[in-house]
Structure 1
């Protein structure tokens, strides 16, 4: 598990932070801060691990808690923090299954790139704002190629222009954070599959659509 505490954090953002940490580390996560002398926190879980039951097992160390299988809120006295962290970790370690620690991505729809345009994006915006409880839709597209613009940016990020052969579509800009390991495969002109969010990128007064790639799978067929 992952339990982090900082008395200076804003109570209003700890739920968002917990969700982001689960996305990055894929383990049951609790983010805690101090509010009016009481430690308050927001917890998020991974698939097939009952977070509420785990907190119930630590209830003797908590002032209040509530929620459901995948998300919860809690509060405790500062003097119970160390024992709570130890107890929660013991419960997670003894009950979580190995498959629950393997990251998965839920795909909302499989589409071709030619379907992505301003009209399509305007329809998506009807379902916003996106965030915890209403996550941005995740799409999948198979057999894509880079249009010769692949490059590494930052530490390990990929900047691409994606297209599908024989689909009559123009290349679409894409960014893939922390997926630089796929650069050598992609730059050689090999096909690959992607799952992604669709976002609007504003630059110098011009709005364009961009794919934010969550994962890449090599097409070895």
Structure 2
């Protein structure tokens, strides 16, 4: 079938289940941006509204520090969701029932236990208390988070180093103990959990 391995295509039932799980979690997921917006509006965070409040060099430095902070925190939240057995059993296992190419799809990117989804989004909020951050940039990055988590579950490896693409994340779903990172592979490289996709992994997705 045009070079596509049929067994690597998610079934309709798998995708419908993922859509159902994701839909049930959406109200809970919306709590994080709602609360963060309230805290920003109340002046509790280090968020700033106008780009003119800081210089461009300062903005770029803050952005880099923010991204590194979020990357670090998401790595450890995700890793502990695996390492702490009750957290895995009662929260993260909901997402990891999709552990093969023929069960992974973009819909799996949002198919979490609601509390699991909240925990993995919290670093974006926590970082606002640590690093000065432009409000609209923060909102854009939260939106990018949504697109990203969908993208890394489509099993298509774009091979764009050092991006933590779908190839790496598919390995994570298969091995359970590698590639906990977020946008990049740096944290996995630093903490010894990086596992590169192999040619065999990629051939299964062709």
Which bin holds the TM-score, normalised by the shorter protein? under 0.3
Greater CA radius of gyration, 1 or 2? 1
Compare relative contact order (CA 8 Å, sep 6+) and give the higher one, 1 or 2.
Answer: 2
Q: Which has the higher strand share?
A: 1
The TM-score with structure 1 as length reference comes to 0.24
The TM-score with structure 2 as length reference comes to 0.25
